[in-house]
Amino acid sequence: MSKFIFLIVCFFVPFHVTAHESMAESQEWLSLVHYHPNFLGRYKGSIDSESFYLAKDGRINPKAELEATIKLFVDGSDKQKMCLFPARYIFLLNNGLIEKTNVKCEEFEKFKEDLQPSGITMIFTDAYMNNPSSLFGHTLLRIDTSRQGTQMIAHGANYGAYYNDENGFLYAVYGLTGGYFGGWTIKPYYNIINTYNNIENRDIWELNLNFTKEEQDLFIAHLWELGHTQTRYYFFTKNCSYMLVEAFDAIRPSLKLADQFWLQTIPLDTLKAVYRKKNLVKNVNYRPSRQTKIIYQKQQMNAKQQKALLSIIKDENYTQLTELSNEEKTIVLETAYQYIQYRFIKKEFSLSEYRKKSFSLLSARNKLPSNKENNMEKIRGHSPLLSHESMRATIGVGSRNGENFQEFSYRPAYHSLTDNNYGLLPGAEINFLNFKIRHYDQSQKTVLSEFDLLDIRSLSPIDNLFYPISFAVSLNVSRETHPQTQKEGYVGNGKVSGGGTIEVIPHVYSYIMGSGYGSYGGFLPHNQYVGIGLSGGIFIDYKYFKLLAEVEKQIGSNWYADKTKYHIEANIPILRNLGMAVEYRYDNNQQGKNVEEYLTSLRYYF
């Protein structure tokens, strides 16, 4: 008998060890502890908090970490620690590596009780041009609830950076270099709606994910594990969206989402990656922002309604309403109410004035019957899932002052004004790290002709309800020709502009901007100049035809900078990810030779 037991033990022990061995290398375990192999094939966990690892070398040793985790639960004495790892507990239990324990984790149970989870939804909030860190939009999660009512009382789970009130420059430096730590926060979904839809006026897109009950439970447990950790936050890589996809991978390792984002993590790209996975997205839902609702409602109104709306919001004069039907009145009053809320958030009214206006609008509205026709669900929105891909490469041929050249350009992110803007913020442009390389035929040389560090522009039309400022910021290095000596050299340029845009006829915009700029380069007279400029332009934004034409007059601190620049650029978006563009530039230099350039190119997005 004792021999028999000995045999079993002998047999069992090595078996057990190999089970650990293979389990430690399993995709489930690797994803659950957020391990990623480096180029030598060695693993490292992406979570920075030391408390996330139980073994001393747990961050780089999946096997030691697995063994330490098994030990924690087999030993069963450190309740506090066990309760920090409910997802690992589920994993070990499912794989027969431990027995069920009797530990009660009250705090975690309370967490689940408050959330009453019934599903997981990925949330995307549109870009926000007024904040550099929100230019690419934002992603977060909603833990759907089984509570009676609506998902307003579900919870949002947000991964973001902890920051103090650093100034813009430090904020950018810290954001780019991992100077901030990121962590998870949770709050009622109605607060998420208020923040994004109602305060920042950003549209929200909700992707209901198709996770099984087991996956949902594992997700909530894993969120609890992650919630106790902090990790260095990098604006372009390990950001809000990256942590979300790692969390998805942790509960369904076959997704392998994080692997797609080793170079850059643009929120919208992660949304698309999730959307394109088989059986992952059940349903897409759109929540228009307050401003989107107001614009939509106004577009639906007839002339009399619009007149009534304006006289109410400008002069609090309700008399124009009398000419309208009850249904028409309800839309006017509700839109006016939303508009008052919008203006109050912009701090354009005092609190008492705001209350008075709101109250009289609602009292008037309440005297009319409900109007089921006035349904915001009719607003469809342009799905960002159908926008062009973020990276762009172009090839083109052109001529510069009569000399032919071929051009290749590559831009990792994100969108130019004349690109196809379906699903993206209209009139907004965000280019990062765009560079152009040219080969000139006659002089037989290949040069870097331009490198844009960043190029941001927002042309947002002013109308009788909204008065946005149009602006542009750019920083680049360009290869320029000295107008007198005809020598070529590199110049660093910075420029900031501000102005206004109006919509002349539908889809045709006209703008005017004033700008300040400065340039630096050893090749320039006195090495540098500063200047001011005035520019005016037209932007045509049809679905299959985009055109931007601009004239700019520049006056600078030395003669080199005094010039008038003409620029016309047109693009025909043939397909979602393919466009054909032509460009013409003419720099009329006050002294010396002018520069004239043509370019025809093919734009491809991937």
Please report, as residue ranges, which positions from 291 to 330 form the binding site for another protein (by CB under 8 A).
330
Asked whether position 262 contacts another protein by CB under 8 A, the answer is: no
The residues pairing with 206 across neighbouring beta strands, listed in sequence order, are 123, 285
Q: Please state, in angstroms and rounded to a whole number, the distance separating the CA atoms of residues 184 and 231.
A: 10
- Select from 190, 296, 408, 586 the one that contacts another protein (CB under 8 A): 190
User: What number of other Cβ atoms are within 10 A of residue 287's Cβ?
Assistant: 20
Report the residue number, 136 or 248, with the smaller CB distance to another protein. 136
Hey, which residues between 328 and 357 contact another protein (CB under 8 A)?
330, 334, 337-338, 341, 344-345, 351, 354-356
Letter string b/e over residues 562-575, b meaning 16 or more CB atoms within 10 A of that residue's CB: bbebebbbbbbbee
Asked whether position 401 contacts another protein by CB under 8 A, the answer is: no
Closest listed residue to residue 579, CA positions, set 416, 420, 364, 434: 420
Report the residue number, 162 or 544, with the smaller CB distance to another protein. 162
Report the residue number, 290 or 495, with the smaller CB distance to another protein. 290
- Identity at 233, one-letter amino acid code: Y
Smallest separation (angstroms) from another protein to the CB of 376: 9
Q: Please state, in angstroms and rounded to a whole number, the distance separating the CA atoms of residues 539 and 460.
A: 11
Smallest separation (angstroms) from another protein to the CB of 431: 20
Cα Rg for the chain, rounded, in angstroms?
A: 29
Asked whether position 131 contacts another protein by CB under 8 A, the answer is: yes
Size of the site for another protein (CB under 8 A): 71
Closest listed residue to residue 493, CA positions, set 427, 565, 545: 565
- Select from 114, 323, 348, 463 the one that contacts another protein (CB under 8 A): 114
Q: Which stretch binds another protein (CB under 8 A): 126-134, 252-260, 274-282, 446-454?
A: 126-134
Hey, which residues between 191 and 210 contact another protein (CB under 8 A)?
191, 194-195, 198-200
Report the residue number, 23 or 135, with the smaller CB distance to another protein. 135
Is the bond leading into 162 cis (omega within 30 degrees of zero)?
A: no
Q: Please state, in angstroms and rounded to a whole number, the distance separating the CA atoms of residues 560 and 555.
A: 9
Smallest separation (angstroms) from another protein to the CB of 228: 6
Work out whether strand 488-505 and strand 470-481 pair parallel, antiparallel, or are unpaired: antiparallel
Hey, which residues between 81 and 110 contact another protein (CB under 8 A)?
107
Report the residue number, 77 or 370, with the smaller CB distance to another protein. 370
Asked whether position 557 contacts another protein by CB under 8 A, the answer is: no
User: What number of other Cβ atoms are within 10 A of residue 524's Cβ?
Assistant: 18
- Select from 61, 125, 231, 434 the one that contacts another protein (CB under 8 A): 125
- Select from 35, 52, 91, 111 the one that contacts another protein (CB under 8 A): 111
Smallest separation (angstroms) from another protein to the CB of 91: 21
- Select from 45, 86, 119, 183 the one that contacts another protein (CB under 8 A): 183
Q: Please state, in angstroms and rounded to a whole number, the distance separating the CA atoms of residues 478 and 436.
A: 9
- Select from 26, 306, 311, 371 the one that contacts another protein (CB under 8 A): 371
Asked whether position 188 contacts another protein by CB under 8 A, the answer is: yes
Hey, which residues between 133 and 172 contact another protein (CB under 8 A)?
133-134, 138, 147-150, 152-153, 155, 157-158, 160-164
Closest listed residue to residue 564, CA positions, set 587, 536, 584: 587
Q: Please state, in angstroms and rounded to a whole number, the distance separating the CA atoms of residues 207 and 194.
A: 19
Hey, which residues between 211 and 240 contact another protein (CB under 8 A)?
224, 227-228, 233, 235, 239-240
Closest listed residue to residue 340, CA positions, set 356, 324, 328, 326: 356
- Select from 91, 124, 184, 242 the one that contacts another protein (CB under 8 A): 184
Q: Please state, in angstroms and rounded to a whole number, the distance separating the CA atoms of residues 145 and 486.
A: 69
Closest listed residue to residue 235, CA positions, set 336, 141, 127, 133: 133
Q: Please state, in angstroms and rounded to a whole number, the distance separating the CA atoms of residues 505 and 540.
A: 10
Smallest separation (angstroms) from another protein to the CB of 129: 12
Tokens 């260095």, residue located: 232
- Select from 180, 275, 560, 605 the one that contacts another protein (CB under 8 A): 180
Which DSSP state fits 194? I
